[in-house]
């Protein structure tokens, strides 16, 4: 007898279609290969067993934090097109002709979207078993870390599916999903923490009874703190009986249930019915069927400069992107400017030291640039392929170099509001700071000018390199999913995995290669370069090394961006827009 409740034909189609691709095999291979590096590089060499058991706890922390970061970074790429991709292919309403129940549709999409990411996490489990043999962590703690990671993946997948349900394009869903994943997995904790710190600095809130217990509960709003306190449980147990790990389980479970119920309710109504409801609502308000598109001031300025013949901006492809894509709309420009501006202002109010005002803003701006820019730039050319616009691009007789240049400039313009917000805060906040530091700090005006110089070089070059990587994968990939995965994994490897591996290989225990480690490694990473250059100069460390780090950073990222753009142009000419 058939059991319709347990039959999910849509799940079989999604999973089989994904697992048969070459991308799935190579991602699984890379995940297993990278997970084996940690136990191989961190294997003890003559240390005492008791001492290494203590060090192995830190290795576990690095492994689980890196694994969680990779999972949260790639989950929007897997899930953003689950429903918006059906709309782009005009197959979403056809799901209702299959007589599938809403439960079957939602459950299949959720499990297919997150199942492969969970498979990647399970593939790295043997490396954890090898580290377990070295001691330092119990089996129960390892299971708790995996439980928090799996729950974070499931929760983030539901968040991205909700964004995909509310979007008509995959690129829209990727940006929305990435923003909400960051917010619900740590952004809310940081925002509430900033508010509490500001209130405590100004009103002495920590004198209130019970505030420590509330802060411990607050730490349960992020999977990172849940894993951290699962590995090091000593501190919270002295304050409250409930640990941040238990709080996170409840927090993520409730949010996952809420997103799942929303999807279950929303999937019951086809898009056709929703559009008719919207038309009736507009008719009751007396609005016409065609809504006039409002453009923000920044988009109007770019269009005016481009149509006026301004160099670079007069590209027809760039003007087309500004007119038609979502990053040229009012809601996006307001969101990308005002939300980071408020966050950056709150960061500068925590402390009055110069480095405490500049460093958090710069690091937060870099993190947001790396998260948002690839979601826009990586889908540039695959989006044209999926929408069937290749013949239109060929008919325009535009050179391939002009097409790539327009897409690249559009990727830069999509996050210009974020860069502008960071620039305004970094321009004003140093004047309301104190000198601080130790030793013989430089004069105030020299310190402020140095902060301006470092910010003006590191932030734009990091954005330039990030968009160049995204454009490269946009050229070599036929699908938006492949371009997004390639971009995020490459940036994750350069900005996170490479410093970790380099630290394990060229650790400072023996002192050999110290100058190479302190200069070359920060120069290859914008996060490290920004921190080393600001702190090194303000605290009057080796100024020549700081200048060398900044010079190498400018050279590496400028040369890398130009090389990636030249290679992308060459590949685009060879593939002839994939007209094979």
DSSP structural state of residue 434: B
pLDDT over 80 at 414, yes or no: yes
Between 200 and 361, residue with greater pLDDT: 361
Which pLDDT score, from 0 to 100, does residue 508 have?
A: 44
| Alpha-helix runs per DSSP H in 125-169 | 125-133, 139-165
The pLDDT, as a whole number, for residue 287 is 47
Cα separation of 55 and 59, whole Å?
A: 7
pLDDT digits (tens, 9 = 90+) for 422-463: 999 999 988 877 655 555 667 778 888 989 999 999 999 999
Question: In angstroms, rounded to a whole number, what is the distance separating the alpha carbons of residues 309 and 311?
Answer: 6
Distance CA 504, CA 475 (A): 34
What's the Rg (C-alpha) of the chain? 25
Residue 280 has pLDDT above 70, yes or no: no
Residue 27: band (very low, low, confident or very high) from pLDDT cuts 50, 70, 90: confident
- Residue 101 phi, psi dihedral angles, 5° rounding: -75, 155
Q: Is 235:157 a contact under the CB 8 Å cutoff? A: no
What pLDDT score does 277 carry?
55
| Average pLDDT score over residue span 545-552 | 87
Q: Give me 57's structure tokens.
A: 């706890």
List Cβ<8 Å contacts ≥24 apart for 548-556. Answer: 548/519, 548/523, 549/519, 549/522, 549/523, 550/454, 550/457, 550/458, 550/523, 552/519, 552/520, 552/523, 553/457, 553/458, 553/461, 553/522, 553/523, 553/524, 553/526, 553/529, 554/457, 554/461, 556/523, 556/524
* CA dihedral for 83, 73, 223, 182, sign (positive or negative): negative
pLDDT band (50, 70, 90) for residue 420: very high
Give the model's confidence band at 6: pLDDT under 50 very low, under 70 low, under 90 confident, else very high: very low
Contact (Cβ atoms closer than 8 angstroms) between residue 170 and residue 83: no
Query: In Å, what is the CA distance from 158 to each residue of 117, 153, 162, 317?
Result: 13, 9, 6, 35
Q: Could you tell me where the DSSP H helices lie in 166-314?
A: 170-182, 188-203, 211-218, 223-231, 234-237, 244-266, 271-285, 297-307
Burial, 259: exposed, middle or buried (Cβ in 10 Å; 0-12, 13-18, 19+)?
A: buried
pLDDT digits (tens, 9 = 90+) for 221-247: 889 888 888 887 765 445 556 778 888
Please indicate whether residue 80 or residue 374 has the higher confidence score (pLDDT): 374
Kindly report the CA angle at 519 between 517 and 521, in degrees rounded to 5? 60
Cα–Cα distance for residue pair 519/550, rounded to 1 Å: 9
Closest C-alpha to 67, from 106, 107, 37: 37
Q: Work out the average pLDDT over 183-208.
A: 71
Q: Tens digit of pLDDT for each residue in 184-195?
A: 998 888 888 777
Confidence of residue 4 (pLDDT cuts 50, 70, 90): very low
Residues 531, 367: Cα–Cα separation, whole Å: 13
Q: Cβ of 407: how many Cβ atoms within 10 Å? A: 27
Per mean pLDDT, which range of 137-151, 224-238, 361-375, 533-547 is the poorest? 224-238
pLDDT at position 271 over 70: no
Residue 434 pairs in a beta bridge with: 353
Mean predicted lDDT score pLDDT of the chain? 79
Q: Please, what is the end-to-end C-alpha distance for the chain in angstroms? A: 49
Q: What is the pLDDT of residue 485?
A: 83
With 80 as the cut, is the pLDDT of residue 292 above it?
no
485, burial (CB in 10 Å: exposed 0-12, middle 13-18, buried 19+): buried
pLDDT average, residue stretch 258-279: 71
Least confident of 32-46, 199-213, 445-459: 199-213
Confidence of residue 580 (pLDDT cuts 50, 70, 90): very low
Half-sphere exposure of residue 135, counting CA atoms within 13 Å on the CB side? 9
Work out the angle at residue 128's Cα, subtended by the Cα atoms of residues 118 and 185, and round it to the nearest 5 degrees.
Answer: 45
Q: Which of 33-47, 100-114, 256-270 bottoms out in mean pLDDT, i.e. has the lowest?
A: 33-47
Lowest mean pLDDT segment, chosen from 58-62, 119-123, 322-326, 483-487: 58-62
Q: Average pLDDT, stretch 126-155?
A: 85
Of all residues in the chain, the percent with pLDDT exceeding 90 is 17
Residue 439, pLDDT score: 54
């Amino acid at each position: 007898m058939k059991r319709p409740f347990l039959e999910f034909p849509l799940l079989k189609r999604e999973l089989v279609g994904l697992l048969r691709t070459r991308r799935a095999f190579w991602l699984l291979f890379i995940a297993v290969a990278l997970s084996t590096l940690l136990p191989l590089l961190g294997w003890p060499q003559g240390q005492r067993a008791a001492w290494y058991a203590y060090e192995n706890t830190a290795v576990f922390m690095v492994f689980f934090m890196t694994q969680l970061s990779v999972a949260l970074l790639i989950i929007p790429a897997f899930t953003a097109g689950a429903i918006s991709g059906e709309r782009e292919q005009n197959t979403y309403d056809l799901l209702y002709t299959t007589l599938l129940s809403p439960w079957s549709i939602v459950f299949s999409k959720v499990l297919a979207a997150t199942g492969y990411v969970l498979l990647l996490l399970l593939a790295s489990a043997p490396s954890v078993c090898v580290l377990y043999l070295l001691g330092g962590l119990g089996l129960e703690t390892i299971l708790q870390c995996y439980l928090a990671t799996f729950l974070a993946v499931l929760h983030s997948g539901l968040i991205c599916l909700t964004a995909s349900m509310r979007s008509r394009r995959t690129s829209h869903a990727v940006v929305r999903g990435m923003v909400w994943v960051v917010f619900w997995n740590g952004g809310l904790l940081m925002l509430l923490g900033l508010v509490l710190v500001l209130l405590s600095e100004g009103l002495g809130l920590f004198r209130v009874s019970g505030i420590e217990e509330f802060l411990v509960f607050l730490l349960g709003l992020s999977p990172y703190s849940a894993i951290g306190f699962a590995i090091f449980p000593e501190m919270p147990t002295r304050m409250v009986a409930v640990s941040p790990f238990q709080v996170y389980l409840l927090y993520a479970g409730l949010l996952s249930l809420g997103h799942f119920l929303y999807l279950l309710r929303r999937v019951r109504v086809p898009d056709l019915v929703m559009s008719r409801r919207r038309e009736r609502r507009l008719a009751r308000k007396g609005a016409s069927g065609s809504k006039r598109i409002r453009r923000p001031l920044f988009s109007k300025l770019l269009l005016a400069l481009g149509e006026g013949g301004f160099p670079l901006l007069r590209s027809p492809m760039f003007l087309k992107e500004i007119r038609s894509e979502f990053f040229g709309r009012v809601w996006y420009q307001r969101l990308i400017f005002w939300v980071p501006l408020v966050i950056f202002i709150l960061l500068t109010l925590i402390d009055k030291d110069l480095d405490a005002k500049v460093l958090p803003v710069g690091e937060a701006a870099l993190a947001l640039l790396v998260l948002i820019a690839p979601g826009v730039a990586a889908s540039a050319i695959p989006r044209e392929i999926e929408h069937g616009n290749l013949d239109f691009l060929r008919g325009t007789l535009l050179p391939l170099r002009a097409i790539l240049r327009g897409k690249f400039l559009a990727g830069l313009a999509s996050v210009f509001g974020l860069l502008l917000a960071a620039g305004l805060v970094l321009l004003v906040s140093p004047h309301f700071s104190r000198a601080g530091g130790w030793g013989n700090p430089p004069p105030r005006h020299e310190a402020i000018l140095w902060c301006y110089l470092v910010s003006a070089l590191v932030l734009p070059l990091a954005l330039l390199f990030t968009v160049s990587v995204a454009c490269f994968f946009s050229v070599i990939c036929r699908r938006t999913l492949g371009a997004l995965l390639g971009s995020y994994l490459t940036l994750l490897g350069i900005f996170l995995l490479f410093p970790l591996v380099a630290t394990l290989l060229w650790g400072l225990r023996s002192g050999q290669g110290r100058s190479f480690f302190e200069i070359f490694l920060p120069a290859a990473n914008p996060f490290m370069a920004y921190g080393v250059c600001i702190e090194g100069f303000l605290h009057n460390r080796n100024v020549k090394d700081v200048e060398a780090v900044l010079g190498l950073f400018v050279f590496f990222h400028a040369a890398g961006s130009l090389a990636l753009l030249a290679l992308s142009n060459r590949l685009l000419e060879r593939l002839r827009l994939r007209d094979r």
